[in-house]
Structure 1
Amino acid sequence: MIDLALVPEEPGCYLYRDADGTVIYVGKAKHLKRRVSSYFQKHDHDAKTQKLIGQIASAEFIVTGTEVEALILENTLIKRHQPKYNIDLKDARRYAYIHLSADAFPRIAIAREVGDDGEYFGPFVSAKERDEVLEVVKRAFGLRSCRRLPKRPCLRRHLGICAAPCTGTMPEEEYAARVNRARAVLRGRGNDLIEEMEAEMAERSERLEFERALELRDEIAAVRHLAERQRMERRTDHDEDIIAYQEQDGNLFLLLFHVEKGTLTGKQEYVFEASDDAVEEFLVQYYGEHAPPKEVVLPTGVGEPVADYLADRRGGKVRVTVPQRGDKRRLLDLAGKNLDLTFFADRMKVEALREDLRLPDPPNVIECFDISHLAGTAMVGSMVQFRGGRPDKRNYRRFKIRTVEGIDDFAAIAEVVGRRYARLLWEGKSMPDLVIVDGGKGQLKAATDAIAALGLRLPIISIAKREEEIYVPGFPHPLPIKNDARSSLFVQEIRDEAHRFAITYNRFLRRKAMRG
């Protein structure tokens, strides 16, 4: 048991140890005694802190001269001991970079990790965006992508999409100029580059160098295309980090945007247990590993010691901004939106479906049925289950149609739906929150009657192909839900998965019959 009378009253760090002497938590405080006492005198702690307190067997204290020194020491101690109750800053995802090699004629390519052999741009959150940027830059500036310079020109040279330094006709200075332009685009300075390139294009035309002028025209068009896609571009002379976070179910979900001189260059996501100090602890740990930018934008302010710590790490002033309006507020809102899309997209789909179908509770468990056959042969049924907005493939089921002869989708749907829920009744298992049937009003009625015959009442809808119309029992017309609404797209996603699963089983049976 900790003797609170012996706890120092100065700023510093405290280390909690368990019965085995292992450091399980490192914290910092402006007034150690008040901070440590609060663990044992307050009774409204969050679940994580309550669990921590139950394992504390002893404590160690290190006094520092200032709270900023305590912050620095805390970060060092966390790195050294890696306590299990301090947040674990493991990146939620890994993204690829675009790499410019350090060769005499630099190569451009995709890299998964950052090394010390050239320059790296990114990370790129979207693989599609990364690939498009890479392809546009390669084509626009004719940069090589081959691992080694070949002895003769390859197909890319003949297609006119590589400057082909391998031929020996491309001066190193000219290729370097192309690389510098590519570098400027990758750093988000495309608009400035366009002005330079337009001036050179005019000069080349005056000197009757029309071939190079046309190349420059095409390069300008490509750079302009990429620059227009950089919606984050703003005229700033410094880098910023934009941090948005949200607490859900005892966890803190955090997203960090990197903005270099007004242009968004990448993002990182983290998830860790929520606590009173989680955000400030994140800032201290994260910027203990990464150089702080000139400005950090947050939805709420931080204490002065944290701001001083960031300045100490950077070796210069760091502005911590809590914007209420303007571009920075827009950036923060965008980060929040990305946070929702990254961590809560599945939950948002389920909630949108609940709202549009007027369901009392979110349809967390959804089962969808489809029938597949080829001219009435190898007729099969499929059922896919989505749980929490995602496919739960462990609960997929497939059915051979037993009672239907010829082509009768209505009877086939009735059989499959009846068999599924008769089995759940017999096994005493819970029913889904929503049933979806692929088809129109006929398939919907067949499935509804099959469920009613079992004495059940389950929420059920059908989705008709072509117009993607959603029907509910008892209404002759489809629901007024646009087919590009989030709820409709979610239903389409589920239906498409059921269709894929059914076709796969149908093909399997046909191949088996042919072999057999």
Structure 2
Amino acid sequence: MDKSINPKIDFLKQKIAVLPSDPGVYQYFNSDGKIIYVGKAKNLKKRVSSYFVRRPENGKTAILVRNIANIEHIVVGSEEDALLLENNLIKKYQPRYNVLLKDDKSYPWIVIKNENFPRVFSTRNVIKDGSLYFGPYTSTTMVRTLLDLFKSLYPLRNCKLNLSPNKIAEGKYKVCLEYHLGNCKGPCIGEYDEESYRKNIDAIKNILRGNIGSVIKYLKELMMAYAADFKFEDAEEIKQKINQLSSYQSKSTVVSSNITNIDVYSIIHDEESAYINFLKVVNGAIIQAHTIELKKRLNESKEQLLSIAITEIRERLHSTSREVIVNVKPDTDFKNIKFSIPQKGDKRNLLELSERNVKYYRLEKLKQQSIRKKETREERLMNTMQKDLRLPYLPKHIECFDNSNIQGAFPVAACVVFKNGKPSKKDYRHFNIKTVVGPDDFASMEEILKRRYSRLLAENESLPQLIIIDGGKGQLGAAMKSLREIGVTDQVSVIGIAKRLEEIFFPGDPIPLYLDKNSESLKVIQHARNEAHRFGITFHRNQRSKNFVSSELDEIKGIGDKTKEKLLSTFKSVDQLKKQDLDSIKLVIGLSKATLVYNYFKTKK
């Protein structure tokens, strides 16, 4: 993970490090605090980490990742719950990088209709008419399996007739095909009493609420009976129903049709802080989640702290719900608000979900504090280098020097800078050797160090804690001579590294130090030496190229510096200039000078 993927990667890494490995929903926010993406995960930590492991190949994903400024998450009980919650949040916030969900997209429910001799069927429309709704279900296969099971176990009607006692008594209806097929016992003609029918409905409610042990027991006995009678196809069909029921979860803890518009608060606290989670539930779905931390000042009680949090969150999130679920009653009377601590049912499930999230939030905060207290990699590296190289100070600022020349031609030098063990490329510097004639590396090193550190002293800039010289005893001796002349040898440490055996030389010590080839200290020194060599060679190559261009154009009499600048600016190189005809050159510098240039290159050909 690096800053080219996301400029806030260091902050995001801290958030990811403490994510739980539970199922849930993650939300990405941009720098304006707006949700730009909502996703679900079976394992929150693994899923969110995957966005930042490497640069995304997809362009749109790369743009999303680069715009992430913050990450928040909600822990739920299962992957199915995560899918449902993701759906709700996408509909609510319509994040820019999510696939847009149409408003009519919904998951199926199983409804037990509020009527005489209730019907049981699937629907995608929840109507507040007193009927019981179970779900929603993410699998339509599961819905069909349950309805088929009910049909095979219990003779229920599927007609839409108004089976009031008066109309049945008056003989208004006749039996249909379902009656003749044995799927219905004819409540419409009074052959099936309502009390027996209600017992079947109660059994179906138990199955939908998860109380399915007795049903599975019955089905197993039926399966064995079929097998004993050699009805293996029937036994296999029952076995498949048992498998479906065994893996069935009665409903989601995230959504409930019985809950319309409520707020949920849960609080936990310790000696220093209180943590409060908030869930907003509208029309049976969670559409908002938020957790805050309050620092204690006067050993306030959790009842007092919850009152403060409720006031803050309701104002901040513009909540006007009149029903509020809590795990502790606040010590303040809020007008037009009814507080309750549910002990069972859907509301209890929501409170437990809120409590689970606030516990995770506290654990994450404690983990973050623990991580901050631990020694960072940079600090450990600096301590290791200080110990290995016997330095008086931590080498947080390192500078490394290298000379480049070919038989004394175009002598240059490079200085690379490392901060906390990493390259700081904006601080790199290169030098043209000015006072040395011929290939004299020692004298060149003396000149460069004297120029570099005389300037830093004159500008009151900080000196490095460590200077690395690319070379052995001779180069190190030349460097120390310069540093003694400007009086900084007591302020900096200097070492030399010889290429052949990677020996580390210290001033005044004829015996080199050999660091383990896997040593972190040696790797930093080698990295700095290689960077200095690369940076110096690149600069040296550029200087040779410029010198060649200038010397060739200098051969043309009557062509001055401004004219050369115009030509190179227009044609980019001498090679391109050579390919031009007289008219093209004339448009840039006029006919007389163009003739001189054109004739010169024509003659050289």
Q: TM-score, normalised by structure 1?
A: 0.40
Q: TM-score, normalised by structure 2?
A: 0.34
The structure with the largest alpha-carbon Rg is 2
Higher relative contact order (CA 8 A, sep 6+): 1
